[in-house]
Structure 1
Amino acid sequence: MNRAERRRRQKQGLPAVKEPVLNVKASDIQQIKEDATHTAADIAFFLMLAIPVMVIHDKYPQIMRRVVDGKSREERFADLCIDLYESFNQGYVSLDDLAECLWEEAGIKLEKKK
């Protein structure tokens, strides 16, 4: 692209340089998909394990009472887990925060064994 074409594109409000085109093999795309799947599964499993452990660590006395305000302990436990998960979704708590808190306060280290 010469200088005149770049100026013309700039006057039209278009970027001066076209976006580069990348060639990707099908095997590369498949590998990216597999990596994303494994990462998502690892995060989901960590959340599935860390949230209930954190709730039990923080709220054990409340959970152990049989019935409170007409709710069973199982229902209260599920509500507390959902509350913590919503905090994670809204960005108030991160995976690192959960892992750090469990390690510092409860001595539990959640990590994948290799």
Structure 2
Amino acid sequence: MEFSFTGCKPCLDALPEISEIISRFGASLEVISIWNDKSRDIWLNGAKKHKELIRWTDLWDKTGKVTQLYEVKVWPTYILISPEGKIEKTWNSYRKGRILSKMEALFGNPRP
């Protein structure tokens, strides 16, 4: 899971890397973005600008309850959940290449 909001520059900067992760690890990994925007219109209009990159499940957290449930306080926040539903790793903030290197460490280095 990836927690973002459209006014978060690092969140938007991470989208190309997330797209690359989908291309490389999509058979082993499912990505879900949870957007914590104040309104549906903000979320939809922000997503439009980046829709060509977002090829994964993309949801708006209308009430903020999902964000609260996972205790997200920093954006972006990434949570790796096992197929059994167990939280395996949580990290936040975005640095170019960081998400990709974590996925390579977990899943190997498949060819793009």
Same fold (TM over 0.5): no
Between Structure 1 and Structure 2, the one with more helix by share is 1
* TM-score, normalised by the number of residues in structure 1: 0.25
Q: Which has the larger radius of gyration?
A: 1
Bigger relative contact order (CA 8 A; separation at least 6): 2
* TM-score, normalised by the number of residues in structure 2: 0.26
